[in-house]
Amino acid sequence: MNSLSKTEGDIRKHFTEALKEYGAFDRTLGALASLSFVLNEVKEIAQEAELVDFRPKIIPTSGNPDPYTPDGVILTKRCDFILELKSSWDHKDTAQVIKYGRSPGLFLRDGTQRSFRSEKCTLLGYQNPPGGANLDTLFEHWHTNRIGSPLVVFRYSLESAAEGDRMYFARVPYVSNGLCPASKLGDLLNNPRGFHVSADRYKLHRSKFHKANDEVIASYAAVIWWTKYVKHYLSEDQRSEMADNGRLSRPLVLKWEDISTIPALADVDVPLGPREVQRALEFLQQAKLVSFKSRTGAYHIELREDRLIRVPGDGPVPKAEAQDIRTKILARWATNKVKAPITSGRVGGRRSVRRRGGDPRQSTLF
C-alpha cells in the first residue's frame, strides 16, 4: 500500500511540476506577443520603431564564435533595446545580460551587421522578480563591468480582471534599477504605474510565437508540435484517413535524418527548430504517443485526434477532467515517466532550462 501511495505521489509530483513549468513558459510567450502588439500596433510606438526582431542574433564579444540570441532586439529612431525574459532568477542571468549589454551590434537577416546606437538599453523581464540580494549582485556586476548603458529589470504577469485577462508590465522598484532612454517605448516602460495589454488585443500576435528565441521547454515543444506541426507531415491519403477515422491505421514514420526538415507554417514569427522537434519527440516518446525504432532509425508516431487520446486510469488527473490535449499529454508523460521510464536509446530526459512570475491603478493605454 505504501509503495502504491509513493508511486501515485511521484506521478502527481512530476505532473504538477511539468504543468507549472508549461504555464510559466506560456506566459513568457504571452508577454512576447503583448510586446509585439505594442511595437506593431500602438501608433506612436510603431512609428518610432525601425526594426523589431524576435529571432535576433547579436554580435558576440571576447572572440566567442557563436552569436548571442536574446529574446528580442528593438531598434528605434532614438535608441536601441535588447530584450530578455525569464520566469525566475538564475545565477547565470548576470553573466548573460552582461554579454548582451557589451554586444556592439547585431546581424541583420541579409547577412550584414549593424552597430547599436550609443543610446542603448538592456531589458530584463521576470515573472517572479529576484529578491534584493540577487538584484544587488546583478547591478553590482553590471556597474563593475562599466557597460555604459542602463539595465532595466521589470516584472510581467498574466492577470485576471473583470474586463478579461491582461498581460501586465511594471519596472521593478529597486533603487539601482535603470531607466530607459527617452523614447515612446522607453517612457512606457519607465512609467511607475506600469501598463497592461489585454488578451483580446494580443491574441492575434500570440499564434506567431511557438517558442522564445533561444530555447523551449520539452513539454511545450511536445504539445505545440503535436497540435500545430504534425498534420503538415501527412500525405493526402493520410489526411483523408485522419478525416474519415480520426486516426491513422499505420504510424506516421519520421526518419532521424529528416527531423531537420520542418514544415513551414504561415504567419509564425518564431517557429520550432530541429532541436525543439527532437525534444518534442523525446517527450512524446515518454508519453507513449511516439516510439523510436533503432533498427530503422525512425520515430513512429501513433497519430490520432485529440479526443481519441486516453489518459491512464490511475494517472494524476481523473479522465473526466482531462479534456484538453495539454493535460492529456502531460498526464501520460508523468505516469509513464514513473511506471515505465525510458532509460536507453535516443530518448528524452535531458534537463530543460527554466525560464523566466495588478494593480487596478495601472495604466490602461491598451
pLDDT (tens digit per residue) in 82-91 = 999 999 999 9
User: In the chain, which ranges are E strands?
Assistant: 49-53, 57-58, 72-76, 80-86, 105-107, 113-115, 120-126, 151-159, 166-171, 195-198, 252-255, 290-293, 298-301
Please check whether residue 201 is in contact with residue 37, taking contact to mean a CB–CB distance below 8 angstroms: yes
- pTM here is 0.89
Provide CATH code, domain 27-206: 3.40.1350
Q: What angle do CA 212, 356, 81 make, to 5 degrees?
A: 60
Q: What is the pLDDT of residue 354?
A: 37
What are the pLDDT digits (tens) for 224-267? 999 999 999 999 999 999 999 999 999 999 999 999 999 999 99
Confidence of residue 315 (pLDDT cuts 50, 70, 90): confident
**Is residue 288 packed enough to be buried (19+ CB in 10 Å), middle (13-18) or exposed (0-12)?**
middle
Q: What is the pLDDT of residue 195?
A: 96
Which of the pair, 349 or 288, is modelled with greater confidence?
A: 288
Confidence of residue 191 (pLDDT cuts 50, 70, 90): very high
Give ranges for CATH 3.40.1350 in the chain.
Answer: 27-206
Task: Give the separation between CA 11 and CA 5, rounded to whole angstroms.
Answer: 10
Confidence of residue 188 (pLDDT cuts 50, 70, 90): very high
State the residue for C-alpha cell 491519403.
237
Neighbours of 71 (CB within 10 A): 27
Q: What is the pLDDT of residue 356?
A: 37
Contacts of 11 (CB under 8 A, 6+ apart): 314, 315, 316, 334, 335, 337, 338, 339
